[in-house]
Amino acid sequence: MAKHSIFDFQSPDADLKDDVLRSRLFEILRKYASGPVISTELEDGKSCLFIFVGENGGHWILRSFSTGLITLDVMQYGKEEILSKDTLKSIEKEICKVLSAEKSLHLPPINRGAKVNTYYPTVDDLLIQYDFDRLEFETNSPYQNIKILHSQQFGNILILDDDINLAESDFIYTKTITGSGREVFKDKTILILGGGDGGILNELLQCSPEFVTMIDEDVINCAIKYLRGICGNALDNLSGEHHKVHIGDCVKYLEQCIEEGRTFDYVINDLTAIPVTKEPIGSLWEFLRLILDMSMKVLSPSGKYFTQGNSYNKPDALLMYEQQLTKLSCPVQFRKEDVFVPSYHEKWVFYEIWKTNESTLS
């Protein structure tokens, strides 16, 4: 495994073309690496780049920029840590002193080539390092890659196509997508689209519903074994007195319900988040609109539709979604709620939607 440590130094007056300054910097680096094996001035005439060879195949890259920024990238390679955290901190202090740097920054090392990837971005591309210590399960379905990784903080986490989906710690997600305790599900009929982790089903079955129907294809079998903290025992039996889980296509099931004239008091859509695009076009938006429109057709006149939105930090995507709500086959109103989902490391927006006039529904 390789460890990539990053240092930034701000030193507007430092010139790495100066022989004395350069010699003092090289003296520090040569305690840990040999070289430089490459030394060059860059095209702007104000920037320099030096590459040193470290121990066990690692390398060090020292680079100056015309803006006064000086960067040092240290790549360590090997099973054992060569440079400790304290050693790296000492190197930072030594270089700061030589450069008379105004300020410096040392980021924790990025681990590269590990057996278990621990890095996943937020929706707006902020890099999060998780404390994953093992891969519990992985498979490729006809539709997506499915992984379940174990986190010491969050328990097992479901990851679909390298997107953090839900952790055993994320009870707030399930609570919010089912109305945050505002709804009375007793003696109600409910349709869950997706939700293969079993969290929504588990929550609803504790509320004495008349009947819950759930449609999903991919995740159910692995959830039964690896996501007990989410599904409880709700998926142990795929059918019971008050619920039935269909392994199949949501669109086909909705088409069947529309044809038969079946309606539900609640429809909870946990299929996918709102797409993050510049315009509301493309296959993802087409699927979103299809599910929305079909869901309205199977929702009773006084029913409620719940769904996830996307990150609080993506207001443009949320606005585009809200604009789609004005184009449905029936007029609707909505409210939204944002909560912090622990394993997402960001606030997430959820929607509650209801009809305002049933007469225009085809």
259: which residues sit within 8 A by CB, 6+ positions away? none
> Does residue 286 share a domain with residue 195?
yes
How high is the pLDDT of residue 83? 86
Q: Is residue 261 scored above 80 in pLDDT?
A: yes
Tell me whether residue 341 is in a domain: yes
Q: Is residue 359 scored above 70 in pLDDT?
A: no
Cβ(321)–Cβ(314) under 8 Å? no
**Beta carbons within 10 angstroms of residue 344's beta carbon:** 20
Half-sphere exposure of 176 (CA within 13 A, CB side): 19
> Does residue 20 share a domain with residue 46?
yes
Q: Give me the CATH number covering residue 146.
A: 2.30.140.10
Q: Is residue 256 scored above 80 in pLDDT?
A: yes
How high is the pLDDT of residue 214? 98
> Does residue 350 share a domain with residue 204?
yes
Tell me whether residue 360 is in a domain: no
Of the candidates 270, 293, 316, 338, the residue annotated as catalytic is 270
Cβ(172)–Cβ(341) under 8 Å? yes
329: which residues sit within 8 A by CB, 6+ positions away? 293, 296, 297, 360, 361, 362
Cβ(316)–Cβ(295) under 8 Å? no
Rounded mean pLDDT of 206-219? 95
Amino acid at residue number 354: W
How high is the pLDDT of residue 80? 66
How high is the pLDDT of residue 195? 97
Told to judge if 249 belongs to the known catalytic residues of this protein, a careful annotator would answer no
Tell me whether residue 81 is in a domain: yes
> Does residue 131 share a domain with residue 244?
no
How high is the pLDDT of residue 362? 42
Q: Is residue 81 scored above 70 in pLDDT?
A: no
> Does residue 174 share a domain with residue 58?
no
Residue 125, beta-bridge partner list: none
Lowest mean pLDDT among 70-79, 259-268, 312-321: 70-79
Q: Give me the CATH number covering residue 26.
A: 3.30.160.110
% of the chain residues with pLDDT over 70: 97
> Does residue 211 share a domain with residue 154?
no
Number of domains in the chain: 3
> Does residue 174 share a domain with residue 161?
no
Q: Is residue 73 scored above 80 in pLDDT?
A: yes
> Does residue 192 share a domain with residue 175?
yes
* Final residue of a structural domain among 149, 165, 181: 165
Cis peptide before 36 (omega within 30 of 0): yes
How high is the pLDDT of residue 41? 87
Pairing verdict, β 239-240 and 299-311: unpaired
For the chain, the average pLDDT equals: 94
* Residue of higher predicted confidence among 266 and 358: 266
> Does residue 108 share a domain with residue 130?
no
Tell me whether residue 361 is in a domain: no
d(CA 198, CA 304): 20
Q: Give me the CATH number covering residue 323.
A: 3.40.50.150
Domain of residue 148 covers 119-165
Tell me whether residue 362 is in a domain: no
> Does residue 197 share a domain with residue 66?
no
Rounded mean pLDDT of 222-242? 97
Which tokens belong to 95? 């270089």
* Final residue of a structural domain among 112, 128, 155: 112
Lowest mean pLDDT among 8-22, 78-92, 103-117, 287-301: 78-92
> Does residue 69 share a domain with residue 204?
no
> Does residue 272 share a domain with residue 140?
no
